[in-house]
Amino acid sequence: MNARLKTTCGACFLALLLAAPVSAQRYIQPVFSTATKAADVVYGAATNVRGVLENLAMDVYQPQGDTLSLRPLIVFVHGGGFVGGDKGTSQFVTLCQEFAKRGYVTASINYRLDTAMVSRAVMNAMHDARAAVRYFRKNAAQYRLDTARIAMGGGSAGAYTSLSVAYVDKISELPPLSGAGDVEGLSGNPGYSSRVRACLDYWGALLDTAAIETADDAPLLIIHGTEDNTVPFTHATMLRARATHLGLYHEFYPLQGEGHGPWGHMDSIVNTTARFLYRVFFGTTTSVGDVRAIPVDALLLSISPNPFTEHATFSFRIGEAACVDAGGGARSASRARVTLRVLDALGREVARPADGEYTPGTHTAGFDAHALPDGRYTALLRIGSRTVTRSILLLR
């Protein structure tokens, strides 16, 4: 980046949003009702671990009806431990659609998989993802892209890949024995920059945080569960420590008590990411970021999986403060009155997975939708006088 980014306080950012015209809400909230999808766009080719030349494909999403001449781009990279996963994974389809509705051009890419060597897998995926960025710079006019505003992000293995694209930029930073001959790779579209302006790390890691070198590197969003046993939370704290030491703009969102891949918080992940990208791409920031909290409501109710095909599990938390009745008196045995209802698109109740008094802590409730038609539903959780809603998608 040419200029050092600095963060603003939450109050200043809120004031900026309130003072801005309605059009400024683009990129933060959905302003388009649908997104178009171009499936299986080939962005490059590379030799895989079997010695076979593999076409590299992606799905590209754009806001339907958009007339803006230059749009920012987000390239999403799926997870799967480098041994599985696909660009069509439901969570990444949701991310692409949600950000396309907010005015971005988005892409979900496939990359070469590798069951034998992690360091080689990360570097191959990094080379492929860099080729995807170069493809978009090469074809910027076709997609009407603002090539100064490109972000890359992913979950788990996709986050490893995105972090490597953002920060591994020297041959000396390539891991030993990875077989990576250079940083850019040979996956396609040479002659164009693969640099990204922002990095979205959802529960991933960087093989060596020393690859982050200056405050002018790509700003970093870190979202990670504190109880992650697959990619331990210490990887997130190491990234945060390195960014803080260098003065790199970053935002750090620990998800308390969550494990690996907490996609039940999809709504909050999307909203948090949207605000981060707005600050980086369009805002004015004034200091290095640090620990931020996902809004409390975001952690009160989660759904897994979401989207789902027939069965889903709700998880909701009750704090001590919730165990007080409307008149201010403590309930017997420290219990809170809880109702969890599922409503269809017309607002009709179709299920009530929870209804009763619950003690403080985390509780779960199952939802069986085998008799319901596909579509979008709303989960409405009421804990005492507090109400939280979540959108859920039944998709067979």
- pLDDT single digits (tens) 254-278: 988 889 998 988 888 999 999 999 9
pLDDT grade, residue 182 (50/70/90)? confident
**CB neighbour burial string for 316-342, b if at least 16 within 10 angstroms, e if fewer:** bbbeeebbeeeeeeeeeeebbbbebbb
Q: Where are the domains of the chain?
A: 10-294, 300-394
Strands laid side by side in the 35-47 sheet: 35-47, 53-63, 105-109, 71-77, 145-155, 198-202, 220-225, 250-255
The CATH architecture to which 10-294 belongs is 3-Layer(aba) Sandwich (3.40)
133 CB-contact burial (10 Å; exposed 0-12 / middle 13-18 / buried 19+) = buried
User: CA distances (Å), 123 to each of 80, 106, 169, 172, 264, in order?
Assistant: 15, 23, 12, 13, 30
- pLDDT single digits (tens) 149-159: 999 999 999 99
Task: Say whether pLDDT at 306 is over 90.
Answer: no
Q: For residue 360, what pLDDT is reported? A: 79
- pLDDT single digits (tens) 325-381: 333 344 344 677 889 999 988 888 999 999 998 887 788 999 999 999 988 888 888
Contact (CB, 8 A) for 229 and 273: no
Task: Say whether pLDDT at 16 is over 70.
Answer: no
Longest Cα separation, the chain: 71
Q: What is the mean pLDDT of residues 116-129?
A: 90
User: pLDDT > 70: what percent of the chain?
Assistant: 83
Q: Domain 300-394 classified CATH 2.60.40.1930?
A: yes
Residue 333: CB partners within 8 Å, gap ≥ 6? 359
Strands 336-343 and 361-368: unpaired
In whole angstroms, give the CA distance from residue 343 to residue 346. Answer: 8
